[in-house]
Amino acid sequence: MEPGRCKGISLIFLLTALQVFSSAARTLDAGPGTQLLRISYALSAAVHGDTIRIHGGEYHEGNIIIDKQVVLLGLGRPVVDGDHLGEIFSIKADGVTLDGFRIRNTGVSGLNDYAGIKIYNRKNVIIKNNILENCFFGIYTQYGLNCVVSNNVLRASQGREQLSGNGIHCWKSDSLIISGNSITGHRDGLYFEFVSHSLIWRNISEKNNRYGLHFMFSNDDTYASNVLEGNGAGVAVMYSKNVRMFHNTFRDNWGDASYGMLLKDITDSYIQGNYFESNTVGIFVDGGTRIQMYRNSLRNNGWGIKITSSSMDVKLNYNDFIGNTFDVGTTGNLVLNDFDHNYWDKYEGYDLDRNRTGDIPYRPVSLYSMIIENNPPALILFRSLISTLMDRSEKILPSITPESLKDNYPLMSPLKLW
């Protein structure tokens, strides 16, 4: 047979197969006024590729298992109530879309991670435009690949951590997109463990019991333009590498052990253009290595940044420190990091050559802040005459504060990053 004729037959066969597949895909309607009164009935009747439209109403069906590649579309925001019994939607097929539902009242358990929506070892799943209320875990993915979770609202109201799971919980997953979600009242708003190559973008996580964002052992991820506000302990980034955090807002995270962002044993990461306001500690770095912090704004925090002596090769450049009680806190005297080219509103130096850089270095660690690190009750002397005298004398004759922790080229005016 001629080669050109073979190609023509193959093309005709492919087009015919596509026509058969497209004609096989159907749209089914379920709910009040239809023949399929329950979501589970519609799923039983559906085949791979179907779209199921669920009409407005209230559905009490227990655990709904989606084991076919279907689009499940809510019309008029149908309510799916779990009646506090267990999990509600269990996704066990690739390519599922779940769009437009109000999902509420999962069970609560100390042994099982009941979720409003749970993805089981699947890929190319889309969860969007849903409202999840009073769920133990909101949206949960385990071993997910190329999944999208976008524009969902998750609200919980359990006061105790033991009765509350995480809003969006991702475990051992890859290449996720988590965007445009709003999470309130959960244990952790966003939780990631062993999650790689993922984008977390434009989410709002506020007033959660513990962390607004908590991730561990998760490499090569990007967190951009998220708002993390009023959470119990702020944000924790732990045991990870190649983390990129751009243009996030960390605000109003107050408490004895609270901070805007904790970096614990983080390596080779990049933090740029973030805004830290009104946190007990803006940034807490413990064991960080090769971290670049560039053009961040730290305003009105208790401490702008705390950094332990175990942190190395942290480059903190071109940042604004404005209105913080203490700009920098540290432990020990060995500091192997770069603090040059920042703006410090407490800098009292001069610029005789008018190059917009101070002519004398600035030491942002005060003697009083180091005393507080070792003796917290000394905070009672805050803004007293004796604390002022200690700091003034240390500036004239430095003896206790780290000699190597200084900005050799302090900026004379703020960068006005926000």
Q: Residue 6 — pLDDT band, cuts 50, 70, 90?
A: very low
Tell the burial category of 296 from Cβ atoms under 10 Å away from its Cβ (0-12, 13-18, 19+): buried
pLDDT band at 388 (very low <50, low <70, confident <90, very high): low
Res. 387: pLDDT tops 70: no
What lies within 8 Å, CB to CB, of 236 at 6+ separation is: 211, 213, 214, 215, 216, 261, 262, 264
Least confidently predicted of 12-16, 235-239, 259-263: 12-16
Does the pLDDT value for residue 7 go beyond 80?
Answer: no
pTM as predicted: 0.87
Measure the CA dihedral 200/201/203/208, to 10°.
30
- Please report, rounded to a whole number, the percentage of residues in the chain having pLDDT higher than 90: 73
Mean pLDDT of 317-331: 92
pLDDT-above-70 percentage for the chain: 83
Least confident residue range of 17-31, 49-63, 68-82, 285-299: 17-31
Whole-number Å distance between alpha carbons of 116 and 306: 38
The overall average pLDDT reported for the chain is 88
Do the Cβ atoms of 150 and 128 come closer than 8 Å?
yes
Instruction: List all residues 6 or more positions away from 53 whose beta carbon is below 8 Å from its beta carbon.
Output: 27, 28, 29, 30, 73, 75
